[in-house]
Structure 1
Amino acid sequence: MSSNKRKNLNTMEVDPNDEDSSSSDDDDDGEQHPDAYRGNEEVQIDFEGRAPVDPDSQGISQLLQRLFLRAHINCNQMADLLIAQNYVGSVICQCEDDGAESETDDDNMVEDGTIFGITSVLNLSAKKDQPSIKQLRTYLLERSKAHATEQVQQQLSELLDNEQRDVGLLINERFINIPAQISVPLLQNLQQEIDAAKAKKMKFNFGTLLLLVKLYRKEAKKGKPAEDHYTNAEDELLSERAKFSFEYSVASECDSGMSGDWLEGDAVMTPYRKLLALDANKLPQLIKDVQNYINGE
């Protein structure tokens, strides 16, 4: 969607007495919740999706940094790449109070606004010479060598080196207390924009989409199996649909204030990342599956 075509996504109501939305429960790796409430007052926030513009660069970079943590990846440059392809991708921001749409002053409207999330895709094949993409490819291959099976290592390496079919990096990041329902219109819009770009012979004809997701693992204890808790609810279903995947702990890379682990009761919650390889041709069906999953169908 273009920057002057804004789409209302959903309304979030935050109850300060709800432990799940408390500001003391930061997202993994020190991510702060949106300032959605004051004292005992419940505040309603309307979100909208729009195309990213230059003033969004810092907000997008911060979201990427929460995903990649201390990895040697230039998130500022990656954010600029996402903004430069203004025909694909959306950011989540707070709706303007007056509800008015500006046809000429979008940059000024968002200059001081917070970016609550981004859903987009980058062509890792076409942009392989960009510094941040080179760094990302190295990061993924190194992590796979250390944590994936030999079969998955080979699959990932062949995928990234395949010059016949483009690979996309699917980015689906948002603040933790934004409802999962918001992901559906964002992913639907992304699919429409990819299709439109492909119709114009642009380089969005992906064979595979790579998605790096965040999760916490409640480690096995006293005979109970480990439990995974995904930061974005839809990632659990996408994980089940992946062609292949591998995971790794990022406890040592988290902010020192978080000490790597969370405690839930007497159980340790360890932060992980999981790389998913998704069939790009199945994205429309995956989005439908996500919608049904979130709606409990």
Structure 2
Amino acid sequence: MAKRKELEVERVKEQESAESSSDESSSEDDTDMLDVDFEWFDPQPEHDFHGLKTLLRQLFDVDAQSFDLSALTDLILAQPLLGSTVKVEGNETDPYAFLTVLNMHEHKDKPIIQELTRYIESQCKRSTDLSQLGTFLTPPNESRVGLVLTERLINIPSEVVPPMYKMLLEEISWAIEEKEPYNFTHYLIFSKTYREVASVLDEEDTPKTKKHKKAAKKGSSEIFYFHPEDEVLQRHAVASGSFGYLKESAGSDSKRTFQELGIKPEGHMILIEAAKFEGAVKALQDYFNQS
């Protein structure tokens, strides 16, 4: 594969809000602006194993224990000219974000891909929104699916994402020119969402208000995105949807977002035809340029 990636550096303004006054009518949030240089690198086998494995564990959440994450990390690092990591203190540090694509057909005999395939197929059977997706992974379907895996630390701004998708498109194009097996028919993006759920903390001591009950009821069906870019990408999808994890979580109270509500993380998948993937990435760039 031809090598093209030069180091890219982008300065992103990250806001850190200070504590505000308890008087909402008169308080104003103090905001500090932190300048950070984000650097994009190729995956580095000698430096990135532990950082990528940690991000994969975060991506798969409580179901991460269902997979051999070491084998998955090794597979990602075995294609160092495809995909990107984002760092802030040089190449030898742990990545704060990553994006890559794996050829599910090319690696179909590898145990980790077989694990992922069975997992995805089982989730598709449980979700009406994803039922169509499962047919693309099951023989005799001849679709060549590229599994897109991407995750970042929670405080990393979304603006680091469009450059990674742009570089991925370029790398795939060059790989195809070199006759490498990245000529996909579809891209399957694996991600995460969450729903707001009622907290059970002190529920015996504190009666639920009408506002609490209404919020809990609304939160049970409304989907929120850990990755804002997913809302843009799924507009171009053949199929997309969220699904519940197979393992039991520690409970919503450990992941409180508001005083009255906790969150329930879920998995999310987006299937995009290869012919529409470039347009989806362009829409993603336009979205963040307008933000």
Report the TM-score, using the length of structure 1 for normalisation: 0.77
Q: What's the secondary structure of 2:82's corresponding residue?
A: coil
* Residue of 52, 68, 78 corresponding to 2:43: 52
Matches within 5 A, 1:1-297: 5-15=6-16, 17=18, 43-54=34-45, 55-69=47-61, 70-71=63-64, 72-96=66-90, 109-110=91-92, 113-145=93-125, 147-149=126-128, 152-153=130-131, 155-161=133-139, 164-219=142-197, 221-222=213-214, 224=218, 226-250=221-245, 253-254=248-249, 256=250, 259=253, 262-296=256-290
CA contact (8 A) 2:117 2:137 kept: no
Structure with max Cα Rg:
2
Alpha-carbon distance in 2 for matches of 1:90, 1:46: 16
- Using the aligned pairs only, state the percent identity: 28
> What CA deviation, in whole Å up to 9, does each residue of 1:196-237 have, x standing for no partner?
001111100111111111112135952746432211110112
Shift of 1:155: 4.1
CA contact (8 A) 1:3 1:50 kept: no
Q: What's the secondary structure of 1:60's corresponding residue?
A: helix
CA contact (8 A) 2:39 2:87 kept: yes
CA 1:88/1:162 → structure 2, altered by over 3 Å: closer, same or farther?
farther
Query: For residue 15 of structure 1, what is the amino acid of its counterpart?
Result: E
CA 1:2/1:199 → structure 2, altered by over 3 Å: closer, same or farther?
closer
Give the match for residue 29 of structure 1.
none
**Over aligned residue pairs, what C-alpha RMSD do you find?**
2.9
> What CA deviation, in whole Å up to 9, does each residue of 1:151-195 have, x standing for no partner?
843541343435633111011211122111211111000000000
CA contact (8 A) 1:207 1:279 kept: yes
Q: What's the secondary structure of 1:264's corresponding residue?
A: coil
Alpha-carbon distance in 1 for matches of 2:111, 2:246: 26
Q: What's the secondary structure of 1:5's corresponding residue?
A: coil
Q: What's the secondary structure of 2:280's corresponding residue?
A: helix
Number of positions where the alignment pairs a residue of Structure 1 with one of Structure 2: 260
Q: What's the secondary structure of 2:81's corresponding residue?
A: coil
Shift of 1:2: 5.4
Report the TM-score, using the length of structure 2 for normalisation: 0.79
Shift of 1:132: 1.0
